[in-house]
Structure 1
């Protein structure tokens, strides 16, 4: 790995950003931790950053030569704000960009897929991380975790479809390698855990580990869209519900060895995460 230069982490207080900052700092890298509120992040220089406030962008980019990109949350068209920033970043001296996308969104697909498509033309060194659904969705502040605690229920339109849920710590570990290895991946990386699980499997495992009954309630795509629309913009709710439908049809029923190939260790199992965080 190389330790020269400064790495800008956008979304530094978020799910993957905070862990990426922590792992980079622990490895001795100079990190600028960018968030809407310039909060103190141990081992990093805090800097204010808001995708929708261009006045915050120059200070964030100052001295940065690599950047980890978390798209604006809930925006169905993030390219509108991200692409101008990325052109500015290239002019400012950033030579490597690592973008967080999703296993469900291919290059040129909706939302961040447009940014994915543009990235290779903007930077000679790049990577797109395409993780499967986060294991932490069932333990943190995500709607699934909230409904597990409040109702003993998980609500999806995914039917019996299976997903290669991935530990966020593993995503951060891959992000660190993509940002700091001598040679950038220059490709997209689909990240999964070591097993594909249905939401029925998830409910059973949570029940076994915690001792509290949890059920998976199967909704139609329209019912799921309406449920989500109470919390996120309608277009984003429709997109998320559509992703559930794709899961039901088998789109996420896969596992990859990318975590082990990039980090040198196996991806973590869901049961191990639950025992660590909820057991």
Structure 2
């Protein structure tokens, strides 16, 4: 039986990010009290904002006090997030947090590099927990980061993934699973791999984007070295090498799978990429903004969104 209060506060770290903002929106829509943690403590409808920075432990207590569950988005681009996350999790447990849901990656196993160390530690810290391991985000192609930047600028997707296929997943579906993991009477206490309904190559993605937006989009096949060096121009070299290595793994078939996790936890099927592209890029105004070379864009990380 769960030990958390069904009316208790959920702390969402990374509350203005890709999955965090959607998780906040779905929790507040369900009438759940939410503390929205971000570096600027920006206001989100229905949530209590709080300033939070993984690299500033002075703000940890204000974030966790009074919360009984937490959604954890690791610091973006840090090759060793455990160094800052594990001290925070100790603090959270001492403050009364009973359930933790961690956003990881389908490409990183328990005990693996980066957030894999946090994944391994989580069950020993909390009796109620889940690790979400989504495949690569569909929003990497429709948002304001990563591949979306090169699509807007050059009509191109650049990877070292070759013809490898990926079960790309909608961030809305990730948030829906996060909400269930955070609020169900029983925590999953499991490692959950999340995918969309179909595994697609980047050539397939380019063809769908061309069809939906009306602007040609192509997939440029890079070598591992070329992708690593391209990414290292904008992100730390260790992280660039890891991301390029993930592309190389995709080329070898590491992400060529689909799972039933979204349907099993939410009761509905996951969204397909064409439906998401039409939702986010298909309207005339959205399409123009998405593909115009001079449209404002965010600072792309070169990897998946968080």
TM-score, scaled relative to structure 1: 0.99
1:24 has 2:30 as partner: no
1:88-146 deviation per Cα after TM superposition (whole angstroms, max 9, x unaligned)? 11000000000000000000000000000000000000000000000010011122111
1:60-99 correspondence to structure 2 within 5 Å: 60-99=63-102
User: Is the aligned partner of 1:119 residue 2:118?
Assistant: no
Distance 1:137 1:41 in 2: 23
For 1:142 and 1:198, the matched residues in 2 are separated by 19
Question: CA offsets per residue over residues 6-28 of structure 1, 9 Å max, x none?
Answer: 10000000000000000000001
* Equivalent residue, structure 2, for 1:155: 158
Separation in 2, partners of 1:56, 1:175: 24
Within-5 A mapping of 1:33-72: 33-72=36-75
* Residue among 231, 239, 245 paired with 2:234: 231
- Residues 65-214 of structure 1 aligned to structure 2 (within 5 Å): 65-214=68-217
Q: How far does residue 3 in structure 1 lie from its aligned partner after superposition?
A: 3.5
> Cα RMSD over matched residues?
0.9
C-alpha distance in 2 between matches for 1:237 and 1:105: 15
Deviation of 1:277 after TM superposition, in Å, equals 1.1
How many residue pairs get aligned? The number is 279
Q: Any idea what SS the aligned residue of 1:184 has?
A: coil
CA–CA distance in structure 2, aligned partners of residues 38 and 205 of structure 1: 37
Contact 1:139 1:277 (C-alpha < 8 Å) held by counterparts = yes
TM-score normalised to structure 2 length: 0.90
Counterpart-to-counterpart distance in 1, 2:104 and 2:234: 21
Which stretches in structure 2 are left out of the alignment for 5+ residues? 283-306
Once the 2 structures are TM-superposed, how far is the Cα of residue 211 of structure 1 from its aligned partner?
1.0
CA contact (8 A) 1:161 1:249 kept: yes
Q: 1:196·1:254 contact (CA, 8 Å) conserved in 2? A: yes
What's 1:262 paired with? 265
User: Within 1, Cα distance between the matches of 2:223 and 2:171?
Assistant: 28
Where do 4+ consecutive residues of structure 1 move more than 4 Å? none
Q: Distance between the aligned counterparts of 2:271 and 2:6, measured in 1?
A: 27
- State the distance in 1 between where 2:35 and 2:207 align: 41
CA distance in 2, matches of 1:3, 1:46: 21
1:50·1:56 contact (CA, 8 Å) conserved in 2?
yes
Q: Higher mean Cα deviation, 59-68 or 137-146?
A: 137-146
Q: SS of the counterpart of 1:117?
A: helix
State whether residues 3 and 28 of structure 1, in contact with CA within 8 Å, keep that contact through their aligned partners in structure 2: no
Q: Distance in 1 between matches of 2:211 and 2:130?
A: 38
